[in-house]
Structure 1
Amino acid sequence: MNNYTVLISGLFALTGALVGQAYNNFLTNKRERKKYEKEIYQELFSPILLDIIAFYDIKTNWRRGHDIRDHVKEDDLVLHIKEKISSNIKYANSPIISAYHDLKRFDYYEDFTGFIQEQKWLKLCLTLLDETYKFVKKEKLLHENQLVLINNYRIKYFIWYLLIEHIGDQDQATEIISAFWCISPETFTESFYEHLLVRFEHVKREYFATVFESELKHLVIDGCEGLFQEMVERIENNISGSTVISDTDS
């Protein structure tokens, strides 16, 4: 009987030791993972997040000559973002790497359309915002108001990207998106962004202005109805007067 008691006691002790070791390993791995996730954010996402936001604010500013300092150049932001991605590519996931490579090829590939390089640039910015949002939400690295800010710019970049895609003219698209301040961001939620992704997924060019108007008209700031209607009309006029060549055809 004593032998069984010793055996059972030994088994319990061994089990306890194994469980304790497994738990310690779990805690260690969890700490290491948290440390690595924080490193990803600090090295890849954080240094370029504000630059992506600044690029939009500068490039699309309604009163650029009045609001933006003369020495500020968005090309410097583009260069900084590209350099940060290149030097920290080991932290990037496949969507970011793919978007970066799509843009990188224009270092040697001629853009005969005149707008696809810019479109690929906006796609990279949008992808970075997407992946930053999902990453920091999952890891709980930022406060809720900062997530709201990122989502706000996801929607702006998404609309800007769509404008270039359907109009086929980067200057016209930028001029139109420059009036986007007339759209209230109060309902720019994550679910609204996901709704827009689905809503615009298969919209043909000839219907783009109609869908644009139907999705955003109810968000127009009071007193800006005329400006918003001008945006819609400019989209319609640009689409009807242009022919878009896809990047696969260029």
Structure 2
Amino acid sequence: MNIEEYIPNEYIPAIITASVALLAAVLSQVINNFLTYKRENKKYLNEIYGDFISRYFSEVIAYGYAISTPGKEHNLKTKGDISETINGIFQSIHYGDKYLQANQFEYSTWKYLEDHKGDAEEILQFKVCYNFLVYSKNVFNKIDFSLENSMLNTLNYSIKKFGYLYICAELEGKEEAIDKITSIEFFNINVLNEISCKKINRMILRDDYEHQKRFINRINTEIEKHI
């Protein structure tokens, strides 16, 4: 097909110019929409940090410290108040991710199940604390929130600690999990630092019993070396 049969030669340059201008306008709008979304998304993430994460972050970190440090649990108000903290998290659950939202549903229904464990609430609290800290870390990364190395190390270790507490409590019971995390801290056993946050996260998300069991057995072996 010869385009000149339908469009006179003198109109072709104008048509090309108009087409290029239209394409440029469309691309500009797409880019502008993308940047607007990115700005608004970052603004919302900063809102999540200010109105959600910052309210409960220190309380969750302190609870992890209290429950795993020998002789400290009776001195810290946090140990008795973690239920209130978790209720606060759930009251603002619209700021949370899908894992925290699933935790809320699980937490609100466990008591109605006939076969629930007696310490199910405390075990779920470990899971909520774990998912809250993982979510906090993800938000920090997205808003380019710079944590000092000491705080970043504390956050990563707390994530591993709550991940361990949840997995161990599911397999061996809450009291056993608390006794063992206390032993890890008391004897300064470095075993949790040798396991990545990603590996623990995979075990929890996939509910991988075999890997979880090997993980707990490995830690049990390290604890037994010091007792």
The aligned amino acid for 2:161 is K
Segments of structure 2 that go 5 or more residues without pairing to the other structure are: 1-8
Alignment partners' CA distance in 2, 1:209 and 1:77? 25
Q: 1:126, 1:158 within 8 Å by CA — same for their partners in 2?
A: yes
Aligned to 1:118: 122
Q: Which moved more, 1:50-59 or 1:103-112?
A: 103-112
How many angstroms does 1:15 deviate by?
2.6
Alignment partners' CA distance in 1, 2:36 and 2:51? 22
The answer to whether residue 223 in structure 2 is matched with residue 229 in structure 1 is no
Alignment partners' CA distance in 2, 1:177 and 1:131? 23
How many angstroms does 1:112 deviate by?
6.8
Aligned to 1:81: 86
Q: 1:65 to 1:194 in 2, by over 3 A?
A: closer
How many angstroms does 1:123 deviate by?
1.2
The answer to whether residue 164 in structure 2 is matched with residue 156 in structure 1 is no
Aligned to 1:175: 179
Q: 2:160, 2:192 within 8 Å by CA — same for their partners in 1?
A: no
Structural mapping, 1:119-158, within 5 Å:
119-143=123-147, 145=149, 146-158=151-163
1:10 partner SS: helix
Structural mapping, 1:29-68, within 5 Å:
29-64=37-72, 68=75
Q: 1:31 to 1:65 in 2, by over 3 A?
A: closer
Alignment partners' CA distance in 1, 2:54 and 2:212? 36
Alignment partners' CA distance in 2, 1:31 and 1:156? 34
Q: 1:111 to 1:56 in 2, by over 3 A?
A: farther
Greater Rg by CA = 2
Alignment partners' CA distance in 1, 2:31 and 2:119? 55
Q: 1:44, 1:85 within 8 Å by CA — same for their partners in 2?
A: no
Alignment partners' CA distance in 2, 1:12 and 1:160? 61
Q: Percent identity of the aligned residues?
A: 22
Segments of structure 1 that go 5 or more residues without pairing to the other structure are: 218-224, 231-250
Give aligned pairs, total: 213
How many angstroms does 1:107 deviate by?
6.1
